[in-house]
Amino acid sequence: MRYEPGPESEDCVGAAFAVDYRHRLVFTRDALDPSNPALADAFGSPADRPHRLLVFVDSGVLEAWPHLPRQIAAYFGVRREAFDVAGDLVVVPGGEGAKNDPLVYQQAIAAIHDAGLCRQSYALVIGGGAVLDVVGYAAATAHRGIRIVRMPTTTLAQADGGLGVKNGINAFGKKNFLGTFAVPWAVVEDFAFLETLSATDFRAGLSEVVKVALLKDAALFRALTERAPGLIARDREATETVVRRSAWLHVDHIATGGDPFERTTSRPLDFGHWSAHKLEQMTAFRLGHGAAVAIGLAIDVLYASEVGLLDESTARLVLDTLASLGFALYDEALERTDELLAGLEEFREHLGGRLTITLLRDVGEPVDVHTIDAAAVRRAIDSLAGWSPAERSAAAG
């Protein structure tokens, strides 16, 4: 008998398929109060056995919330029929250092192994963006990916970083050189965590809110401009309003932007980020991500104004808004302009393909450009050095 070949009679065959994802986003307060069902509900109903989970906590969060281990035990203790907590709480050093030290990733992997988690188990991770990133990378690579429920605890992570479908660690001196794209099972935002942040950490996330507002939502930008005094005074209602809106805009962008796993070169949410990434590295992370993004946004709106894309008055309003939120818009690292400009090529290499930088034509009107005029960047930085907020006292008063 001669075996009759099937569709493989052609020498070149292709198969197309799609994979469905769901991103869940939950807003709450005091998530670990045993009477609050929001966190438990985010896992969904267990199928034939209780949800097995391992809990990771940022060391910085644990310092501010020393009763957290007891609360976690109590929360899942009253839900024993639905949850099986595997192993002890894993404490992960907070801050960017966690992403620079490969051992932190190795320890997270080992904890997942030791707890006997399987691909249907969960890592529940409570912390700032760096801890979410490193534990997320461990969860994405153990067993080719276990589920992860993130509880971002900083303004930055709640407004931006904690919502993304990325994870990673730094390597070869490059931010996020190693990582994957992976959609979290759920993101649970507990606003109570914001209350113990330092003023700097509280402020940090607001630059990402300004960013997403400039790209996508003129009304949110107006709210930021007008409510800046309330935000720096950490007014609860003002904070929750802008953080919720920012979080939702990020998730909506992932779901509807057409390229959640960034296979093309356009990354509109990276507005202001080419210089921000480089500034973090140039200052050995003395400038945190939020502070660096504020400067990056200032450079890119002044640059857009220099090259005639954006009204100078709009650029100045962006600078005033950032300043009224308490951001310093100049740093001595900007004097090493050649080194900063090298960040453009590193940004291109990380994204791949040709250089793509998102700029603004107006608030809510982003535009991608593929060349950057170094001389105009230098003029933008000079103009930033000489800039002083027109209405700082009025806005902050």
Minimum distance from CB of 37 to a copy of itself (Å)?
11
Window 109 to 128, contacts with a copy of itself (CB under 8 A): 109-110, 113, 116, 118-121
Interface characters, 303-332, with a copy of itself (x: CB under 8 A): ------------------------------
Question: Segment contacting a copy of itself (CB under 8 A): 72-80, 223-231, 285-293, 357-365?
Answer: 223-231
Structure tokens at 54: 């391992």
Window 30 to 49, contacts with a copy of itself (CB under 8 A): 38, 41-42, 47-49
What is the spatial distance between Cα 119 and Cα 99, in angstroms, rounded to a whole number?
A: 24
Nearest to 281 by CA among 179, 127, 172, 136: 172
CB of 315 closer than 8 Å to CB of 302 = yes
Q: Whose Cβ is closer to a copy of itself: residue 57's or residue 148's?
A: 148
Angle of CA points 242, 245, 251, to nearest 5°: 140
The b-or-e profile of 287-301 (16+ CB within 10 A means b, else e) is bbbbbbbbbbbbbbb
DSSP H or E run through 196: none
Cβ burial of 284 (10 Å; 0-12, 13-18, 19+) is exposed
What is the spatial distance between Cα 180 and Cα 21, in angstroms, rounded to a whole number?
A: 15
Which position has the token pair 């404490």? 91
C-alpha 140: how far from chain center? 17
Question: Segment contacting a copy of itself (CB under 8 A): 90-98, 127-135, 196-204, 346-354?
Answer: 346-354
Residue 26 as a binder of a copy of itself (CB under 8 A): the answer is yes
Q: Kindly state the number of chain residues that form the binding site for a copy of itself, as judged by CB under 8 A.
A: 88
Q: Among 57, 104, 141, 306, indicate the residue that binds a copy of itself (CB under 8 A).
A: 141
Q: Among 33, 84, 101, 252, indicate the residue that binds a copy of itself (CB under 8 A).
A: 252
Window 195 to 214, contacts with a copy of itself (CB under 8 A): none
Q: Whose Cβ is closer to a copy of itself: residue 251's or residue 341's?
A: 251
Facing residues of 109 across strands?
none
Q: Whose Cβ is closer to a copy of itself: residue 214's or residue 333's?
A: 214
Residue 351 as a binder of a copy of itself (CB under 8 A): the answer is yes
Structure tokens at 52: 């097995």
Question: Segment contacting a copy of itself (CB under 8 A): 9-17, 287-295, 326-334, 372-380?
Answer: 9-17
Angle of CA points 74, 80, 83, to nearest 5°: 95
Residue 64 as a binder of a copy of itself (CB under 8 A): the answer is no
